[in-house]
Structure 1
Amino acid sequence: MDPRDALETLPRETALVVGLVSGSHVVNHLYLVLFPPILATLAADFDVGIGALGVAMGVQALVNTALQLPYGYLSDAYDRVLTLALCLGLGALGAGILAVAPSYEVLLLGQAVLGAGVAGHHSAHFPLLSDATSASRRGAAYSAHGFAGNLGFAAPPVVILGVTALPGTSWRHAFGLIAVVGAVYGVVACTVLGRYVSDDITRPNADATDERRRGDDTAGGRIWAELRALADAGPILGLGVVSMLASTAFWGVSSYLVVFLTEGYGLADELASLSLTAMFVVGAGLILVGGVLADRFRPGTILAAAYGLVALAVFGLAAAVAPPVVALGVGILAGSLGSLGLPARDKLADRLSARRDIGRNFAVVTIGIMVGNTVAPPVFGALIETVGYRPTFGLVGVAALCASAATVAIVTRYGDASEPEPTVVAGE
């Protein structure tokens, strides 16, 4: 079934949750790619190198990674709307700090606050989506969520170029506009979810909450219990490793594609910058295709194939033998083909989760994503400055190939997980 057709038949409360959570995904992904379209401008304004800006992107990712499990616990044990409110509020504050940052040090602070906000979005989003939709429609909901996220990735280059084209404006005005939009959306979305969506969706199930609070109810006891449960979640930990490798490849491409196309292939700055938008728009369409495939075929097979295609495209880009226009197309594919596997990844994580631990499990997957996000910008930035673009992008391709191989290993060891029986949930 086409995800769009499935979503059209959703009950009103379910459609409301899917719409609001997808909108939050747009906002959070806006924050994640503020730097890549204007790296050269930021380097000049703050008098730092590409490597230093890679460190700044890594700081955001490091804080994001460190807070995944705390947000997952908050979502699973207490309240998902509160988790979402913290996520959107801190994200808007971080973007605002970036907009007014007078120095590189304050820029680092803004990135840290931004990371503290963005960290909560998967831990809030996926439990809300899962409890608002039945198993038979969850693939469509995850596709809509992923599609919206890619639109968020695509928007910053367009917004920044549009705002800076106005007289008397700069990237700071664009960042400020994004911060204001994010803050307003956060207030509206959390108010609507709190008032018009049932507690069965916005709060954890009572039995799941009670189970998490049994035994030693001290802070140390709860942390130890969470760590023990995490250590027993072999398939989820494996999926976290796959996500880490795939994220390393993705952020290697998205962080440095623009500068590679301009400095390595001689493309004009404006055209190269818009390649990011094209990459995420194409990726958004591939997410919808991936949702259909994930409902019809084994998710692990789709995931492994998607990352294998990414590796081929990145190796083609690293070869630097294609004409600039062809390289532009190959670069767009290198950054978008991984989106084909995102609904399959999310469906695997959902199938392997009990209702009491879905927030934590998606936090684990997101930790993998954020470790890749943390490592890729500074490491690949430093490699570009020392060995050049071609060898660096060759290593990006190796990371994608390893993600494909790791997916095969996980599925071989644990299986693809059987499809659960469709269940009716709150709102349906």
Structure 2
Amino acid sequence: MTIETVEGLSFPKRETTLLSFVSAAHFISHVHIMVVPALIPLLPGYFGVSFLQIGVALTVFNLVSLVVQTPMGFITDRVGAWTMLILALTLGGASFGSLALIPSYGWLLAAMVLAGVANGIYHPADYALLSASIGERRLGKAFSIHTFAGFFGTAVTPAVLLAVANQMSTGSACALAGIASVTVALVILGAAPRRAEPGKSGVVAKPTSHRLKDVATPQVMLLTLLFVLLSLSSIGISAFAVTALIKGYGADLPSASSALTAFLFAGACGVLAGGFLADRLHHHGVVASIAMVIAAMLTLAIAITHLSGLPLIFAMAGAGFLAGVITPSRDLLVRAASPRGAEGRVFGIVSTGFNIGGAIGPILFAWLVDHGYYQAVFGVTALFMVLTAALTFLPVFEKRQAA
């Protein structure tokens, strides 16, 4: 039965199938992002190098992703999102799986280059498929499910890979990451829709132009800045909150870890809630602004009040939930700024903001921690949240998708 219910908000079977495939791919992309960070305690011994050299490999991965993401958006709009998504899964799977066979540092660097290329494909391909395939009234919910799948991949990867490495070997953990990716690629290759009307199966409408200047509009550039700010605020808490709470607030490791876990888990739940909210409200910039302002207030409260115990956990959970709520609205803003048929390249452009923030944030927050400015970790994060709210409140983000 294809008749939609609940005023058009339930997914037809065709959309459910497509959303499942795209979300599975996004889950794998976040698994791959976490492979090296999750296994960092074991990788120096596995490759016979220092921690600094492993850090260089991570830098290579992020820089390559930054460089290729926008070109991959253009290629996605030309050759098709399904083709590119299968390529990303296969290339990423081969990159990480090969580390089980070639445990040399030189090959690690080469594998990170290839994995970085694969990582640069996911966002343009995923969002092009969702934008062209999901009904307008269900798009926010679809974005939230897709994003939640990525959050879930981030959450489960460290525990799973470390367990495999401890029970078997580091190479086996790398192999698992590769096998999982190739398996998803094969399933999509065999079952994903290949032909259908534009806007109904993921066959992206033919763009009117392939020139960068036609899609790199001021609105798209502002959205790229928005992604930079979101990345910076996320890094501040996810990577440095535990250190700041222990060294600056006197928290013990279990308490600090519990607070961070609350932030991450609540963020994933917030993404799902934000999807339902985005489908029922039309002013997505306003939704994002309000959520981010409240998240900033909670984060600032952590900075200046020295919360501990349950109050700290609740404050972190609240900030995480609200930061997650804005994610579907953020994605709908990008979609609205994309000319029809150019969703892949626009998402490719704005997603470079994540990589830019990922390059700047660790240096900034590490400097604060090294100099003993522990409260500033939360204070600066709150500042980035306020800047995000101010940016999303601009009237330019209320425009509809260009024809």
Corresponding position of 2:204? 204
Alignment of 1:276-425 (within 5 A): 278-297=262-281, 298-319=283-304, 321-323=306-308, 326-387=311-372, 389-408=374-393, 411-412=394-395, 414-418=396-400
* Contact kept? 2:368, 2:377, Cα under 8 Å: yes
In structure 1, what is the Cα distance between the partners aligned to 2:174 and 2:313?
26
Aligned-pair distance for 1:160? Answer: 3.5
TM-score, normalization: structure 1? 0.79
1:105-254 aligned at under 5 Å gives the runs 107-163=108-164, 168-169=167-168, 172-193=171-192, 198=196, 200=198, 201-205=201-205, 208-209=206-207, 211-212=208-209, 226-231=211-216, 233-254=217-238
- Would the alpha carbon gap of residues 82 and 415 (structure 1) be closer, same or farther in structure 2, given more than 3 Å must change? closer
Question: How far did 1:358 drift?
Answer: 1.1
- Judge conservation of contact 1:29–1:150 (CA < 8 Å) in 2: yes
Could you say if the C-alpha distance between residues 250 and 334 of structure 1 is closer, same or farther in structure 2, counting changes exceeding 3 Å? same
CA pair 384-400 structure 1, distance change in 2 beyond 3 A: same
Cα distance, 1:382–1:191 mapped onto 2, change above 3 Å: farther
> SS at the partner of 2:342?
helix
Of 338-347 and 184-193, more deviation after overlay is shown by 184-193
Matching of residue 70 in structure 1 with residue 71 in structure 2 = yes
Q: 1:258 to 1:86 in 2, by over 3 A?
A: farther
8 Å contact from structure 2 (residues 233, 381) kept in 1: yes
Q: CA deviation at 1:290?
A: 0.9
| Alpha-carbon distance in 1 for matches of 2:296, 2:389 | 9
**Local SS of the residue matching 2:252:** coil
Of residues 181-190 and 318-327 in structure 1, the stretch that sits farther from structure 2 once superposed is: 318-327
Deviation at 1:78, TM superposition (A): 1.6
5 Å-filtered alignment, 1:1-16, equals: 9-16=10-17
| Cα distance change, pair 30–242 in 1 and its aligned pair in 2 (3 A) | same
Deviation at 1:241, TM superposition (A): 0.9
Q: 1:420 to 1:33 in 2, by over 3 A?
A: same
RMSD between aligned alpha carbons?
A: 3.5
- Superposition deviation, residue 120 in structure 1: 0.8
Is the Cα contact below 8 Å between 2:244 and 2:377 reproduced in 1?
no
TM-score by length of 2: 0.83
d(CA) in 1 for partners of 2:218, 2:117: 27
Tell me the amino acid that sits aligned with residue 22 of structure 1.
S
Amino-acid identity (%):
27
Q: Displacement, 1:104?
A: 6.1
Per the TM alignment, residue 355 of structure 1 is displaced from its structure 2 partner at its CA by 1.7
How far apart, CA to CA, are the structure 2 residues paired with 1:169 and 1:275? 31
- Please say if residues 64 and 119 of structure 1, whose CA atoms lie closer than 8 Å, have aligned partners that are also in contact: yes
Partner Cα distance (2:225, 2:120) in 1: 18
What are the superposed Cα offsets for residues 226-255 of structure 1, whole Å, 9 maximum, x if unpaired? 222134x22122111111111111123223
Q: How many residues align?
A: 394
In 2, are the aligned partners of 1:36 and 1:258 still within 8 Å (CA)? no
Rate the CA distance shift 1:198–1:327 in 2: closer, same or farther, 3 A.
Answer: same
- Code of the aligned partner of 1:174: A
CA contact (8 A) 1:253 1:396 kept: yes
TM-aligned CA deviation for residue 399 of structure 1: 2.1
Offset at 1:328? 4.6
Separation in 2, partners of 1:230, 1:240: 12
How far residue 131 of structure 1 moved from its aligned partner, in angstroms, is 1.9
CA distance in structure 2 between the aligned counterparts of 1:236 and 1:331, rounded to whole angstroms: 31
CA contact (8 A) 1:60 1:374 kept: no
Distance 2:175 2:306 in 1: 40
Q: Which moved more, 1:184-193 or 1:376-385?
A: 376-385
